[in-house]
Structure 1
Amino acid sequence: MTARRSLVRRAAAVAAAATAAVVLAACGGTGDSSAGHEGHDKATPSASASAKKGGHNAADVSFATGMIPHHRQAVQMAELVASRTRSAEVEKLAGEIKKAQDPEIKKLSGWLTSWGEQVPEEHGGMEHAGHSMGSMAGMMAPEEMDALEKASGKAFDTAFLKMMVKHHEGAVEMAKTEQAEGGYQPAKDMAGDIISSQSAEIARMNKLLGKG
């Protein structure tokens, strides 16, 4: 009788141990599964962040779309200088403007293409330079461009400097908007360079105008 009770107790103990093992295994499995889900959950925001990193938004598109014709007009103005100026300083400044803005036009165009956006068409001739962008910040009207093209000597230098100050101020305004609202870091970096370089050129031009 005693031996039989002992066997029953042993069997019960073994069954209990087996049940406990099953429960622990189940808990462990749930824990592993939970950990796996947690791992996926944690990875998802990181992946999303990576996907968004360097992504562009509407402000970036607006910046590139607006700055391309803006820069093109500045380059057109700079190209008039060599045959019309009497100032070595104005000629030097014009060369620097063209050297800086030509590569930026190419870079901005490349961004728009990579984003599946349309690159603004390039209009031929001074008379078209200001039409498509209307009253965009700092852009010269067609009649202003015509007047600049017909001027020469000191009158040209004065007109060029006054117009380019206004033009640069518009570019700085656009660049500040990009820095505040843009999402594409290379575009924001370019905006910072534009603010820095063109603000310095505005100071130089005002000095040449006797305002510095």
Structure 2
Amino acid sequence: MSSVRNLTRRNLTRRAALVAATLGAGVVLVACGGDGGDSSGSGHDAHASASASPSAGDEAGTTAGAHNAQDVSFAQGMIPHHQQALEMARLADGRAASGAVKDLAARIEKAQDPEIRTMTGWLKAWGEEVPEAGGGMDHSASGHSGMSGMPGMMGAEDMAGLEKSEGKAFDTKFLTLMVEHHEGAVEMATTEKSKGRYGPAKAMADDIVTAQNAEIKEMNKLLGKSG
């Protein structure tokens, strides 16, 4: 009888030990799980992502859409400036004697016509006034002569004189006037680069400075100048 009681006590002791061990392990697991939940990468990162994402999105939106008065002025001024350059370039096909002049005029038209469309799109998106296209060779007070105050912009007399020129006389006049016209565009674009805010406009301004400075050097060489 005593042996049975001893066996029963041993069994109870073992069960108690097992229960205690199991409970202890559970506590450890819970504690570990709790620590991981509070400081694990998933919980912390989720919070960080939630707080970081809006600011990142806001910054991206601001960069993409932000513009200032200088950006508007640049587009509104450069559109008619480019339009006049196109008018000058289109005269070369039937008047220029030099193939180099004709090639230059074609490149000017190819580069500046798409830029006019791009800047027009900006102004419309911003709800700003878009300059009207200069309907052909309009030299009246309501035409390009009214814009002659902009850097490099030709007056009515210069434009009319170019239109009447032919052959080598046209080449010389075209190159001389276009150098001045390009210098004005570079001046306007340089102002946009330093004072503008809209990224695409500043990038276009940088392209204008680079391309038109190169063309100025090319035209000066055609004119027999070193500059």
Query: TM-score category by the smaller chain?
Result: 0.7 to 0.9
CA distance in 2, matches of 1:132, 1:110: 24
1:194-205 map, 5 Å: 194-205=208-219
The one-letter amino acid paired with 1:105 is I
- CA shift at 1:133, angstroms? 1.9
Q: Tell me which residue corresponds to 2:192.
A: 178
Q: Is contact 1:172-1:198 (8 Å) kept?
A: yes
CA distance in 2, matches of 1:60, 1:210: 37
Q: Is contact 2:152-2:185 (8 Å) kept?
A: yes
Q: Is contact 2:80-2:134 (8 Å) kept?
A: no
Q: Tell me which residue corresponds to 1:111.
A: 122
CA distance in 2, matches of 1:112, 1:41: 34
Unaligned runs of 5+ in 1: 1-37
1:1-212 map, 5 Å: 46=56, 48-54=58-64, 55-124=66-135, 125-128=137-140, 129-212=143-226
Q: Tell me which residue corresponds to 1:11.
A: none
CA distance in 2, matches of 1:53, 1:96: 32
Q: Report Cα offsets for 1:81-138 as digits up to 9, x if no partner.
A: 0111110000000000000000000000001001101110123223144233241010
CA distance in 1, matches of 2:204, 2:101: 24
CA distance in 1, matches of 2:56, 2:106: 46
Q: Is contact 1:126-1:146 (8 Å) kept?
A: no
Please give the TM-score of this superposition, normalised by the length of structure 1.
Answer: 0.77
Out of 129-138 and 107-116, give the one that drifted further. Answer: 129-138
Unaligned runs of 5+ in 2: 1-47
Q: Is contact 2:97-2:168 (8 Å) kept?
A: yes
Partner SS for 2:144: coil
Of the two, which has the highest radius of gyration? 2
* CA distance 1:42–1:122, shift in 2 (3 Å): same
Q: Is contact 2:85-2:178 (8 Å) kept?
A: yes
Give the number of aligned pairs. 178
Q: Is contact 2:79-2:119 (8 Å) kept?
A: yes
Q: Is contact 1:112-1:118 (8 Å) kept?
A: yes
- CA shift at 1:195, angstroms? 0.5
- CA shift at 1:41, angstroms? 8.5
The one-letter amino acid paired with 1:135 is G
- CA shift at 1:45, angstroms? 5.5
Q: Give the RMSD, CA atoms, in angstroms.
A: 2.2
